[in-house]
């Protein structure tokens, strides 16, 4: 997180009652990011998104909570930081439509796929929850 707000993001989720299930910093590689964002391939913003994601390390986090996906999406706000509701993470710390601070899974299926691309099962602590209780940020 180039703008040095990782602690604020983590604190926000913990303050909202989420349990940390996995966390690590990694340098994204092109093959993994192409799989991760395959749903956007061919869209006008895809190349810019890929370039941004490959710029530097990312912090991958898996959170656990009841109704985690919808709660996460309300905490982070709209994709375009300038349109995100006041107080959401993207409104507070994002810079634009694609450099919007965080990614969050939009469905249990996406969460399962995205978590599997970034974590081995051994890296997820104390969770046997279904994907609807997990959110990847």
User: What integer best gives the mean pLDDT of the chain?
Assistant: 87
Residue 127 pLDDT more than 60? no
- Which comes out higher in pLDDT, residue 49 or 84? 84
Percent of the chain with pLDDT over 70: 90
On whether the CB atoms of residues 91 and 84 are closer than 8 A, the answer is: yes
Q: What pTM was computed for the model?
A: 0.82
d(CA 68, CA 88): 16
Helix axes 6-15, 68-76, angle to 10 degrees: 130
Catalytic residues, by residue number, are 103
Q: Which domains does the chain have, with CATH numbers?
A: 6-136 (3.30.70.141)
Q: How confident is the model at residue 1 (pLDDT cuts 50, 70, 90)?
A: very low
Percent of the chain with pLDDT over 90: 53
Around Cβ 67, how many Cβ atoms within 10 Å?
A: 11
Task: Report the candidate in 35, 39, 66 with the shortest Cα–Cα distance to residue 134.
Answer: 66
Residue 99 pLDDT more than 80? no
pLDDT at 84: 92
Sheet with 58-64, edge to edge strand ranges? 19-26, 58-64, 134-136
Quick one: DSSP state of residue 80? S
Helix (H) or strand (E) holding 48: helix 46-53
Residue 134 pLDDT more than 70? no
Residue 135 pLDDT more than 60? no
d(CA 54, CA 12): 26
Sign of the dihedral through C-alpha 121, 122, 125, 127:
positive
What average pLDDT does this structure show over 65-87?
A: 93
d(CA 100, CA 76): 9
- Which comes out higher in pLDDT, residue 71 or 1? 71
């Amino acid at each position: 997180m180039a703008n040095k707000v990782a602690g604020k993001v983590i604190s926000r989720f913990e303050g909202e009652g989420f349990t940390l299930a996995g966390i690590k910093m990694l340098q994204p590689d092109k093959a993994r990011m192409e799989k991760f964002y395959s749903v956007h391939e061919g869209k006008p913003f895809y190349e810019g998104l890929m370039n941004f994601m490959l710029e530097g390390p990312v912090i991958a986090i898996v959170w656990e909570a009841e109704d985690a996906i919808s709660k996460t999406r309300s905490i982070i706000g709209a994709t375009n930081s300038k349109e995100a509701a006041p107080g959401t993470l993207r409104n507070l710390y994002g810079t634009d439509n694609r450099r919007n601070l965080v990614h969050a899974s939009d469905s249990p299926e996406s969460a399962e796929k995205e978590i599997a691309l970034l974590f081995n099962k051994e890296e997820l602590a104390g969770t046997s929850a279904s994907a609807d209780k997990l959110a990847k940020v």
